[in-house]
Amino acid sequence: MSWSRPFDEPIPLPRQIVTLKDAATYIQQLPKAEQDLDEWQAAVEALLLVVELNGPTIIRALNRNVQRTFNPDRKDTHWGKRKLKRDQ
């Protein structure tokens, strides 16, 4: 696998990150204290795994300041609620 492998979707930051090399360069330019955060260490490991083992891309560290919200109007799924014929 090559460092020039693009992400499925570009990562919008002050400058757009398109390839694995862009992500590695971005992380290397962070202040040392920020590079040492667990999220960035995980991102570095993920980048290395992607390049060395052709694994999936993981960008959790880049979204570390994004607060996840859940839609309260979300429709519940039926998964796990199906009954077997013998239980009816």
Contacts for 59 with CB less than 8 Å, ≥ 6 apart:
7, 11, 23, 43, 46
pTM of the model: 0.56
Query: pLDDT tens across 47-86, in order?
Result: 888 787 766 555 555 566 766 676 667 666 666 666 667 7
Confidence band, pLDDT 50/70/90 cuts, at residue 15: confident
Query: pLDDT tens across 20-41, in order?
Result: 888 888 889 999 999 999 988 9
Interatomic CA distance for residues 74 and 70, integer angstroms: 8
